[in-house]
Structure 1
Amino acid sequence: MTGRRLGDERGSVVAEFAVALPAVVLVLTVGIGALAAGARHVRLQDAVADAARLSARGESSQRVHDAVGAAVPGAVVDIAPRGDLVCVTASAAAVLGLRVTAVGCALAGGL
Structure 2
Amino acid sequence: MLVDSVAALHRLGYPCDACQLFPYARHAAELADHDAKLLQQLSAQAPRAGAAVTLTVLVEPLLVAMRRLAIVEACHRRTAVEKTGAGCVQSAKQQREMLEKLRVDETLRSH
TM-score range relative to shorter protein: 0.3 to 0.5
Relative contact order, higher structure (CA 8 A, sep 6+): 1
Which has the higher Rg, Structure 1 or Structure 2? 1
User: As a proportion of its length, which structure holds more strand?
Assistant: 1
TM-score by length of 1: 0.33
| Larger helix share, 1 or 2 | 2
**TM-score, structure 2 as length reference:** 0.33
